[in-house]
Amino acid sequence: MLAMQNRRFSRRGATSILIRVMHPKEPTMREGPTIALPARQLFAIPDAGAVQILCTAGCLWLTLDEDGRDVVLYPGDSFEDASGRRALVYAFEASAFTLLAQRRSAGRPASAKGGRFPIVWAATRTAGSG
Domain chopping of the chain, boundaries: 27-104+111-123
Instruction: Please report the pLDDT score of residue 94 as a whole number.
Output: 96
- Output the CA torsion sign for 72, 77, 81, 86: positive
Instruction: Please report the pLDDT score of residue 102 as a whole number.
Output: 76
Instruction: Please report the pLDDT score of residue 82 as a whole number.
Output: 85
Neighbours of 101 (CB within 10 A): 21
What single string gives the DSSP state of each residue in 26-76? HHHHT---EEEE-TT-EEEES-GGGEEEEEEES-EEEEETT---EEEE-TT
Q: What is the radius of gyration, based on Cα positions, of the chain? A: 20
Instruction: Please report the pLDDT score of residue 68 as a whole number.
Output: 87
Instruction: Please report the pLDDT score of residue 76 as a whole number.
Output: 92
- Which of helix, strand or coil describes residue 100? strand
Domain 27-104+111-123 - what CATH class? mainly beta
The per-residue pLDDT for range 107-126, each reduced to its tens digit, is 444 444 444 455 555 555 55
Instruction: Please report the pLDDT score of residue 61 as a whole number.
Output: 96
Instruction: Please report the pLDDT score of residue 103 as a whole number.
Output: 64
Q: Is the overall model pTM greater than 0.75, yes or no?
A: no
Instruction: Please report the pLDDT score of residue 107 as a whole number.
Output: 43
Instruction: Please report the pLDDT score of residue 41 as a whole number.
Output: 96
Instruction: Please report the pLDDT score of residue 38 as a whole number.
Output: 96
Chunk the chain into consecutive blocks of 10 residues (it has 130) and report each block's average pLDDT, rounded to whole numbers: 61 60 58 90 93 94 91 94 91 95 55 48 53
